[in-house]
């Protein structure tokens, strides 16, 4: 059995009216009337064994406090249940906006991005005048990126950028989200241009009004690198050696452009989270791994098909073995960087998994150093591109591989392009979750 007392004040007001002097003339007050609003109160009565009832009374503020205590204790499921109960039972309460927002943060932390997006969206639709709308919109853009709802990302980012009450830091965040939306939607040229404009905005802030946290500047630079990488990996090898040579040259140029921008992303220092540095280190190794698979999976020249195919792949594997070594080198650097900084990131496990795979792959390759002869030299070269990460260890500390196989083993053609490693080399692949950067609201 449940009864709702809509306003405690209503009862008191009724009593006051009854007690008023019936025969006296009311005097006009010289003090303006003050309206005091009370939160609704809910009283639940539950039957007890042996007769009688147990009564429970609470209002929206009680539920909000209990939910926030659960949130602070990192019991997000319990917290969300209480916040949702508040919204359902007290829809007119002033706590609804903060309850929806905080529940969204909890759901986001639990990885339930769809439910988080729903809660942030309800703040915007059900409490459009709330002070929580701006933060809810930024969080909505973040979870929409994780959901790969790119058109919604772009719409939300445009709304944020149209606001006049955003700080320089928040504007850069909105620009980063728009860049990510363009990249995810496959609009690589637009993503590249917009990321460049966002970086220009970041670099041209007045000296007395700098953007101190460079997290979203790094995010924009990462988008720039990803645009180059996606273009490179989209170039398929056709039939014919000359056509394949031209594609390989083009891919190599784009790979180096992407690598340079990943290094630029790593170089940002004034940030409180190294998410993009770890992501960039992983991507550099991934590019070499993916290129190896693509080259090994390229069509065999027609005159070598059949009996000469195995020998062709054997010689090709010798030439491009340095690509595997480069992948190993950069993934080892990335793991050492993650361990040195003590950061907790899902990129660590992703890197460990693929590093173990390519180390095993290297042991399967034909004997010999591999690589093309250096210009003007007689022997092969295995020099890897220099790492420019400020956290990179000395070169002699990395690049260690296991012993070479005792005898040359036949090399099988690689799997079809696009299946290299756990990342799958797909332009729209899902990256590890970006850390949330906003705190719960208090009332």
Q: Quote the pTM value.
A: 0.77
Tokens 């991934």 belong to residue: 286
Asked if 437 and 215 touch (Cβ cutoff 8 Å), the reply is yes
Cα separation of 161 and 174, whole Å? 6
In tens digits, the chain (443 residues) has pLDDT values of 444 433 333 333 333 333 333 444 444 444 455 545 556 676 665 677 776 666 566 789 999 999 999 999 999 999 999 999 999 999 999 999 999 999 999 999 999 999 999 999 999 999 999 999 999 999 999 999 999 999 999 999 999 999 999 999 999 999 999 999 999 999 999 999 999 999 999 999 999 889 999 999 999 999 999 999 999 999 999 999 999 999 999 999 999 999 999 999 999 988 777 899 999 999 999 999 999 999 999 999 888 888 788 889 999 999 999 999 999 999 999 999 999 998 888 899 999 999 999 999 999 999 877 766 655 544 444 343 343 343 333 222 222 233 332 333 333 333 333 333 333 333 335 556 676 666 666 65
pLDDT (tens digit, 9 = 90+) per residue, 132-167? 999 999 999 999 999 999 999 999 999 999 999 999
What are the φ and ψ backbone dihedral angles of 43, each rounded to 5 degrees?
-120, 120
How far is residue 152's CA from residue 158's CA, in Å, rounded to a whole number?
A: 10
**Half-sphere exposure in the Cβ direction for 276 (13 Å, CA):** 26
Query: Where exactly are the structural domains of the chain?
Result: 213-373+384-433
Q: What is the 3-state secondary structure (H, E, C) of 39-105?
A: CCEEEEEEECCCCCEEEEEEEHHHHHHHHHHHHHCCCHHHHHHHHHHHHHHCCCCCCHHHHHHHHHH
Alpha helices in 111-149 (DSSP H): 113-126, 133-146
Q: Is 237 left (phi over 0), alpha (psi -120 to 50) or beta?
A: beta
Q: What confidence score (pLDDT) does residue 302 get?
A: 85
Q: What is the pLDDT of residues 63-109, one digit of tens each?
A: 999 999 999 999 999 999 999 999 999 999 999 999 999 999 999 99
Q: How many CB atoms lie within 10 A of CB 58?
A: 18
Q: Which residues pair with 2 in a beta bridge?
A: 44
DSSP state at residue 214? -
| Residue 145 structure tokens | 């990126």
């Amino acid at each position: 059995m449940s009864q709702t007392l809509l306003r405690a004040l209503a009862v008191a007001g009724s009593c006051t009216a009854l007690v008023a002097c019936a025969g006296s003339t009311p005097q006009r007050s010289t003090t303006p009337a003050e309206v005091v609003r009370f939160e609704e109160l809910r009283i639940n009565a539950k039957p007890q064994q042996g007769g009688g009832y147990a009564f429970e009374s609470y209002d929206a503020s009680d539920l909000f406090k209990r939910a926030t205590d659960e949130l602070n204790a990192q019991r997000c499921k319990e917290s969300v249940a209480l916040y949702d109960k508040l919204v359902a039972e007290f829809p007119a309460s002033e706590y609804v906006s903060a309850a929806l927002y905080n529940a969204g943060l909890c759901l986001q932390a639990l990885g339930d991005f769809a439910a988080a997006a729903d809660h942030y969206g309800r703040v915007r639709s059900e409490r459009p005048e709330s002070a929580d709308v701006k933060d809810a919109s930024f969080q909505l853009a973040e979870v929409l990126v994780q959901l790969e709802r790119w058109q919604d990302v772009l719409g939300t980012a445009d709304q944020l950028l149209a606001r006049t009450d955003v700080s320089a830091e928040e504007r850069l965040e909105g620009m980063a989200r728009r860049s990510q939306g363009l990249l995810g939607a496959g609009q690589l040229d637009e993503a590249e241009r917009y990321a460049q404009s966002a970086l220009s905005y970041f670099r041209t802030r007045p000296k007395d009004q700098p953007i101190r946290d460079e997290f979203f500047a790094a995010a924009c630079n990462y988008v720039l690198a990803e645009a180059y990488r996606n273009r490179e990996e989209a170039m398929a090898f056709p039939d014919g050696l000359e056509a394949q040579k031209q594609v390989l040259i083009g891919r190599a140029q784009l790979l180096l452009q992407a690598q340079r921008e990943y290094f630029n992303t790593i170089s940002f220092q004034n940030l409180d989270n190294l998410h993009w540095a770890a992501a960039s280190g992983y991507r550099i190794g991934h590019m070499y791994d993916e290129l190896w698979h693509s080259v090994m999976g390229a069509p065999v020249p027609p005159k070598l098909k059949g009996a000469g195919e195995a020998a062709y792949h054997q010689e090709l594997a010798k030439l491009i073995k340095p690509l595997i070594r480069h992948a190993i080198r950069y993934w080892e650097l990335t793991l050492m960087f993650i361990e040195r900084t003590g950061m907790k990131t899902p990129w660590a496990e992703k890197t460990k998994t693929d590093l173990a795979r390519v180390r095993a792959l290297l042991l399967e390759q034909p004997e010999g150093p591999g690589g093309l002869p250096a210009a003007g030299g007689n022997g092969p070269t295995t020099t890897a591109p220099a790492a420019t990460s400020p956290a990179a260890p000395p070169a002699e500390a990395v690049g260690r591989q296991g012993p070479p196989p005792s005898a040359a083993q036949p090399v099988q053609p690689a799997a079809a392009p696009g299946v290299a490693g756990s990342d799958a080399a797909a332009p729209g692949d899902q990256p590890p979750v970006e850390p949330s950067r906003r705190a719960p609201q208090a009332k």
